[in-house]
Chain A
Amino acid sequence: MARKLLEKAGAKIGDLVRIVKSDGSVYEGILMPRYMAFSKPIIVIKLSNGYNIGVRVDDKTVVEVLKTREQILREAAAGAPAVIPLIEEKPPSGPKPRVVIVGTGGTIASRIEYETGAVKPAFSAKELLEAVPEIGFIAEIESEVLFNILSENMRPEMWEKIVDSVAKYIQEGFDGVVVAHGTDTMAYTAAALAFAFQGLPVPIVLVGAQRSSDRPSSDAAFNLHAAVLTAAKAPFAEVVVVMHGEPSDSYALAHRGVRVRKMHTSRRDAFQSINSLPLAKIWPAQNRIEVLLKPLRKRREQELVVKNGFERKVALVKYYPGMDSEIIDFLVDRGYRGIVLEGTGLGHVGEWLIPSIRRAVEEGVVVVMTSQCLFGRVNMNVYTTGRKLLAAGVVPGEDMLPETAFVKLAWALKQFDDINEVKKIMRTNLVGEIAARHTLDVYPRWNHG
């Protein structure tokens, strides 16, 4: 109904329209997009005071266009004030580290079109510097938009593209790379980069935002500032995720890409290192990096070595009570080459699954066990089921996060032809994903008094 009326009037989003309802009431405003399609006979307009309202329409309603969007924008632009920079001072000239920001999605910087309320991503280096001028004081900034997707739509082929792009910039001599990424699957991508860069001379920093960058309270600028500082100045050359360290805008944390997990749906400090302390604390306002762990690789210590490529036929399967063995059988029958199990406790699944698992191993599938406890190490020697699983050929995933083990297996299956080599690699620490020692302090407890 609403669509028909608008089509009849030739009204487009952003046009100033007048709606005359059958009861004679008149509404004027700018036509807004309707988020929930046209399921209801309601037209949304922005009134002159900036508010949006919905106007119910029927077949007797009359809609007419008073002014087109183009006209409105032209008039607004004519009266626009000069652009005031956020920071008056210019960054000092002289050599600065070079940092490239690679965009993959999420709006780390954006602008609001107040006429329509649309939020537009801003990603050119110029736009980034305008939105977050602080980063211009740290580094020479370049940027590239690789793609713009929601991170839940990320796929291994995109990891490969990101690896290629980042490798290209490192070869060009950049002193650090920042990858802007949606937060949902950022930890997976971080792990993928960590394994793909077997030799790394500079830091690769993944960054995102938990509050969209159109709002004044967004964490995007703070996180980007911290990320650029890390990329430009950190003494380590590792793949890290840099995000808020606490609800305050005080410090960010740099987490190892293979140790990090999104542990909260919405908080700024959603990202936490599991089974490890964060690698560093970053204080962007103070221009300070406080390293908390011994870096695995120092900056400019290694040559660039890229091993790109991820096997697609790998599954991450979470065990639950009563799980049907057909699920394992299905994966084997469909030609899967690797299965990471997220088992219970020390690394168990219901014993009725063992025959299917044994069959999988016999067919050449690499089966790795991790724990849904997340914290702690799997140990399959303690209970009978664990010993039976080991006997069936399951590879214990040590203290790896299930997601990290999944990415690592996908990577290893592509890099090594020999299954036994893959199994060995899965139990070998490559980039900090496995630690032989756990101290008492790396486990969070509630502040319960």
Chain B
Amino acid sequence: MVEAKLDVTKYDPRKLGLRVGLEIHQQLDTKHKLFCSCPTKLVEQPPEKPAFARRLRPTRSELGEVDIAALFEWRKGRVYEYYAPDECSCLVEADEEPPHSLNRDALVIGLSIALALNAKPVDEVHVMRKIVIDGSNTTGFQRTAIIALGGYIELPSGKKVRIQTIAIEEDAARKVDERGNSVRFLLDRMGVPLIEISTAPDIETPEEAYETAFIIGQLMRLTGKVKRGIGTIRQDLNVSIKGGVKTEIKGVQRLDLLPKVVLYEAIRQARLLEIREELRKRGISPQDVERESKIVDVTEIFKNTKCRIIKRALSRGGRVYAVKLPGFHGLLGVEVQPGRRFGTELADYARFWGGVGGIFHSDELPGYGISEEELSKVFEVVGARKGVDAVVIVADEPKAARKALEAVIERAKMAIIGIPKETRAALPDGTTKFMRPQPGAARMYPETDIPPVEITDDILAEANKLKPVHPLVKLKELKTKYGLSEQLAQQLLRHVHLDFYEYLAEKYGDKVAPTYIASIFINILRNLEREGVPVENLSENHIEDVVRALAQRKITKDVVPQVLEFLAKNPTKNVEEAIKALGIGAISLEEVEKLVEEAVEALKEEIMSRGMAALSKVMGRVMPVLRGKIEGRVVAEIVKKKISELLEKHR
């Protein structure tokens, strides 16, 4: 019997035969978008109203194949509305004008990264259309082109991870919200150049997945030509274990989440295989499910139910249906990932195929207002045996509810066969949820509006100039240029914000010591994180604002951790507001002098008798007021000056 509760520590990915391939997407920092002359800037706020609304039609291949997820959206009458900010979108994003030629700068940056990855540039670049019908591209496809093949990176262990393909492609529009049948997108990001680096499935542990993503990310940042900040780099994963299947996981935005996502997917597959073993042991076959799982209308049983969800469904003219899953007792409650049960997997299918809100299953009942009595009647009506079979209940509009239960039956049958091929979405806690069945072979056809680009020696020469330096060369540069210690430089080199550090050190280095700026990343932020401060809320703008405030002497070094903590907890606020809220506004030298003069005056006698030895006394009097507003060192100097003046005067 499979334990319902999941013990994560019991699973060692090395023993599961884990295989992972990464797809890393990074925005390039070009002046213009990939196929038009719009700037690659994002707007703070969408315009007031969407500019236009479209529907996207599933296109059919020669073999009559259509993308099932797209078809569902279309059948539901899904409408996509687009906000089109004038400052960063034009007729090309609106799909009202053919694309312009491929942005040469993006191609050169992409090739420079390809060269650093030991990949072989193709001789001629052909832009393709990859069908994507979720509304995130106004065209219904993403334009993408392979620029290089092959290559590898080396992990610290010496292991090589092979690169399969390097492509440049256009980023998608940003999803703003979803209401009813309409999904709204913002067009500012659409068309921003991305580089996509796909590795071979050479990665065998969660840690190697992290290392690989990290090294590729660092290498890209070393070009100085890629965008920084949340959302500018995204990882997709292909994960499988021995006996499992290649599952696609989309949209891991945070690098530190990567090992967890990999581990949890490996575990999910292992758990699903355990469930399969248990079902086989119980002697359940797909044919049993096919034969015994009949959808039954059980609305009568719930006429006076206390279950609010069912009551609401019934009041809207819905009905209640139930189905028996023979021999599945106890298995729907089995956790496959922390907090996600096999029942959750069934529910995902019910939602996707039936469009229902969710399901009830017997492993969690009685509950949700459904009584023991109601449950017993359902068992009776569908012919299920308690302690042997499981029952799934859906309350919704009849057509939707039936489709949902059909999907549940299908998923249950698959559980006996193996693990279905899925595309899943990464959740913030490292678990994943079902997004859609995996699309068939990549649906690509040529973008005939864009002429192919031959990779000439000229282009390669330009790319070579941009090729990122070797990390060891960079290390030396950090030490000599910014005077960093070996240790600090080492730490910084591995830091995701290396290029951001360089940017800050370059811009503010004459006013704020580069070693101090380095310590913000290496010490201050890490300490805050250890203390549980949500530093992930800090954008690069926040950090630059703090450094700028330091440079302008609006704040002092000793309050930097406090200010960062405040901003992390209140990410919508700015440094000015932090200063106000924390009562640490920097103080003018005149004011300090005035305060010191008052203190000196008050302690006049002691100063007259003890001379300079009274300095600490004066300091003790002014510092409680000045702490955080000005550095003690500066105050001490003023105090010294004022004491000397006093002594001078009375000599």
Q: In the complex the two chains form, is B91's CB within 8 Å of A267's CB? A: yes
Interface size class of B (residues with CB under 8 A): 35 or more
Q: Residue B123 at the A interface, CB < 8 A? A: yes
Contact indicator per residue, chain B 51-91, by CB within 8 Å of chain A (1) or not (0): 11111111111111110101100110101000000000001
Residues of B within 8 A of A87 (CB): 75
CB distance from A80 to the nearest CB of B (A): 4
Q: Which residue of B lies closest to A82 (CB)?
A: B64
With contact pairs A84-B71, A266-B96 given, residues A53 and B58 touching in the complex (Cβ less than 8 Å): no
CB distance from A20 to the nearest CB of B (A): 14
Q: In the complex the two chains form, is B57's CB within 8 Å of A216's CB? A: yes
Residues of A within 8 A of B133 (CB): 216
Residues of A within 8 A of B120 (CB): 25
The CA of A76 and the CA of B61, in the complex, are separated in Å by 12
Which stretch (A62-70, A179-187, A245-253, A401-409) binds chain B?
A245-253
Q: In the complex the two chains form, is A111's CB within 8 Å of B62's CB? A: yes
Which stretch (B38-46, B106-114, B137-145, B259-267) binds chain A?
B137-145
The CA of A56 and the CA of B120, in the complex, are separated in Å by 13
Q: Residue B233 at the A interface, CB < 8 A? A: no
The CA of A170 and the CA of B135, in the complex, are separated in Å by 41
The CA of A44 and the CA of B446, in the complex, are separated in Å by 11
Q: In the complex the two chains form, is A54's CB within 8 Å of B141's CB? A: no
Q: In the complex the two chains form, is A54's CB within 8 Å of B64's CB? A: no
Interface positions, chain B 429-475, Cβ under 8 Å from A, are 440-446, 448, 451-452, 454
Taking a contact as CB atoms closer than 8 A, the residue among B68, B124, B138 that contacts A44 in the complex is B124
Q: In the complex the two chains form, is A115's CB within 8 Å of B62's CB? A: yes
Q: Residue A71 at the B interface, CB < 8 A? A: no
Q: Which residue of B lies closest to A54 (CB)?
A: B124
Residues of A within 8 A of B62 (CB): 111-115, 120
Q: Which residue of B lies closest to A57 (CB)?
A: B123
The CA of A218 and the CA of B138, in the complex, are separated in Å by 10
Taking a contact as CB atoms closer than 8 A, the residue among A40, A53, A114, A117 that contacts B146 in the complex is A53
Residues of A within 8 A of B64 (CB): 80-81, 83-84
Q: Which residue of A lies closest to B138 (CB)?
A: A217
Q: Residue B625 at the A interface, CB < 8 A? A: no
With contact pairs A76-B63, A112-B445, A247-B51 given, residues A52 and B74 touching in the complex (Cβ less than 8 Å): no
The CA of A112 and the CA of B149, in the complex, are separated in Å by 26
Q: In the complex the two chains form, is A217's CB within 8 Å of B56's CB? A: yes
The CA of A47 and the CA of B444, in the complex, are separated in Å by 11
Q: In the complex the two chains form, is A249's CB within 8 Å of B55's CB? A: yes
Q: Residue B98 at the A interface, CB < 8 A? A: yes
Residues of A within 8 A of B165 (CB): 49, 51
With contact pairs A53-B125, A80-B65, A86-B71 given, residues A47 and B96 touching in the complex (Cβ less than 8 Å): no
Q: In the complex the two chains form, is A42's CB within 8 Å of B123's CB? A: yes
The CA of A246 and the CA of B50, in the complex, are separated in Å by 13
Residues of B within 8 A of A255 (CB): none
The CA of A200 and the CA of B53, in the complex, are separated in Å by 36
CB distance from A91 to the nearest CB of B (A): 16
Q: In the complex the two chains form, is A249's CB within 8 Å of B122's CB? A: no
Residues of A within 8 A of B451 (CB): 36
Q: Residue A268 at the B interface, CB < 8 A? A: yes
Residues of A within 8 A of B94 (CB): 247
With contact pairs A80-B65, A83-B64, A266-B96 given, residues A54 and B52 touching in the complex (Cβ less than 8 Å): no
Q: In the complex the two chains form, is B59's CB within 8 Å of A214's CB? A: yes
Contact indicator per residue, chain A 29-43, by CB within 8 Å of chain B (1) or not (0): 000100110001010
Q: In the complex the two chains form, is A51's CB within 8 Å of B167's CB? A: yes
Residues of B within 8 A of A100 (CB): none
Q: In the complex the two chains form, is B71's CB within 8 Å of A111's CB? A: no
Q: Which residue of A lies closest to B95 (CB)?
A: A217
Q: In the complex the two chains form, is A217's CB within 8 Å of B54's CB? A: yes
Q: In the complex the two chains form, is A51's CB within 8 Å of B126's CB? A: yes
The CA of A46 and the CA of B444, in the complex, are separated in Å by 10
Residues of B within 8 A of A215 (CB): 59, 129, 139-141
Q: In the complex the two chains form, is B95's CB within 8 Å of A216's CB? A: no
Contact indicator per residue, chain A 89-126, by CB within 8 Å of chain B (1) or not (0): 00000000000000000000001111101011000000
Q: In the complex the two chains form, is A84's CB within 8 Å of B68's CB? A: yes
Q: Residue B408 at the A interface, CB < 8 A? A: no
Q: In the complex the two chains form, is A50's CB within 8 Å of B444's CB? A: yes
Q: Residue B131 at the A interface, CB < 8 A? A: yes
Q: Residue A77 at the B interface, CB < 8 A? A: yes
Residues of A within 8 A of B442 (CB): 49-50
Q: In the complex the two chains form, is B130's CB within 8 Å of A50's CB? A: yes
The CA of A53 and the CA of B147, in the complex, are separated in Å by 8
Q: Which residue of B lies closest to A109 (CB)?
A: B60
Taking a contact as CB atoms closer than 8 A, the residue among A111, A248, A266 that contacts B91 in the complex is A266
With contact pairs A35-B448, A42-B123, A216-B57 given, residues A248 and B52 touching in the complex (Cβ less than 8 Å): yes
Q: What 4 additional pairs, Cβ within 8 angstroms, besides A81-B440, A111-B62, A130-B60?
A: A50-B442, A53-B126, A111-B60, A216-B131
What are 18 of the A-B contact pairs (CB < 8 Å)? A40-B124, A50-B443, A52-B128, A53-B122, A53-B125, A53-B149, A83-B64, A84-B64, A87-B75, A112-B62, A115-B62, A211-B95, A214-B59, A214-B445, A247-B94, A249-B53, A249-B55, A267-B96
Residues in chain A within 8 A of chain B (CB atoms): 25, 32, 35-36, 40, 42, 44, 46-47, 49-56, 76-77, 80-81, 83-84, 86-88, 111-115, 117, 119-120, 130-131, 211, 214-218, 221-222, 246-250, 265-268, 285
Residues in chain B within 8 A of chain A (CB atoms): 51-66, 68, 70-71, 74-75, 77, 79, 91, 94-98, 120, 122-126, 128-131, 133, 138-141, 144-146, 149, 165, 167, 440-446, 448, 451-452, 454
* Nearest 9 Cβ contacts at the A-B interface: A54-B124, A216-B140, A50-B444, A83-B64, A56-B123, A50-B442, A52-B126, A117-B445, A247-B52
